[in-house]
């Protein structure tokens, strides 16, 4: 696995907030643009926003105050895992909404499998612990499943060519750019300011508490 770092970094970008946050916002706007999907849009906004808030809160709690678990090597939910697991099932559900039922099921299944691969990539490139990835996936997949369950009694939305193109164009453009978002450094600045610390807590600090 260590012989293919570029492949794993390419895969992990599918969970980067530089890609996911704009995509989530476009998804939100597209759903709000039609009266038939407006309710789903607000549901999506609250659910995805809730996931983002929980992830940020867990990271700030550790970076600023050292709240984590040395036993489970936990310093906060994996944002790549949680956000990708919350958005890709919903995104592919919407993109495939006008397709045959079998194709829709396959698309949603891919939406569930992609975050699992992204979570695995975070482990391969050694940026998260197993507990952070697993809990992030559970959080995100629970959110996307809740959203899809809320839509089960509604007819699949018909986006039309223009809206479908808008939804697809942004991720494609961002994948070509592939510039990771400076999310971690921004959270560190916020946390140390709120906690009135000179430097952020690190994973090493967490494990040093056991010595």
The predicted-structure confidence for 44-97, as pLDDT tens digits, reads as follows 999 999 999 999 999 999 999 999 999 999 999 999 999 999 999 999 998 888
- Beta-carbon contacts of 88 under 8 Å, excluding residues fewer than 6 positions away, are 14, 110, 111, 112, 114, 115, 144
Residue 117 has pLDDT above 70, yes or no: yes
Residue 11 has pLDDT above 80, yes or no: yes
Residue 210 has pLDDT above 70, yes or no: no
Specify the pLDDT at position 109. Answer: 96
Specify the pLDDT at position 124. Answer: 93
Rounded to an integer, what distance in angstroms lies between the CA atom of residue 141 and that of residue 143? 5
Closest CA to 112 of 144, 134, 139, 136: 144
Q: pTM value?
A: 0.90
Task: Identify the band that residue 4 occupies on the pLDDT scale cut at 50, 70 and 90.
Answer: very low
Question: If you search the block for the tokens 């697991």, which residue do you land on?
Answer: 85
Specify the pLDDT at position 33. Answer: 86
């Amino acid at each position: 696995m260590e012989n293919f770092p570029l492949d794993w970094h390419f895969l992990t970008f599918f969970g980067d907030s530089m890609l996911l946050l704009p995509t989530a916002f476009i998804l939100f706007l597209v759903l709000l643009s039609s009266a038939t999907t407006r309710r789903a849009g607000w549901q999506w906004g609250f659910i995805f926003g809730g996931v983002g808030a929980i992830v940020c809160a867990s990271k700030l709690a550790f970076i600023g105050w050292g709240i984590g678990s040395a036993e489970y090597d936990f310093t906060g939910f994996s944002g790549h895992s949680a956000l990708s697991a919350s958005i890709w099932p919903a995104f592919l559900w919407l993109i495939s909404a006008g397709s045959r039922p079998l194709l829709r099921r396959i698309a949603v299944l891919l939406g569930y499998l992609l975050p699992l691969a992204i979570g695995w990539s975070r482990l391969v490139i050694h940026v998260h612990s197993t507990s952070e990835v697993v809990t992030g996936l559970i959080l995100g997949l629970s959110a996307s499943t809740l959203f899809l369950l809320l839509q089960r009694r509604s007819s699949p939305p018909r986006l039309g060519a223009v809206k479908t193109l808008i939804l697809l164009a942004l991720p494609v453009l961002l994948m070509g750019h592939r510039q990771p978002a400076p999310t971690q450094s921004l959270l560190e600045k916020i946390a140390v300011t709120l906690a009135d610390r000179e430097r952020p807590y690190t994973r090493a600090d967490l494990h040093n508490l056991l010595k």
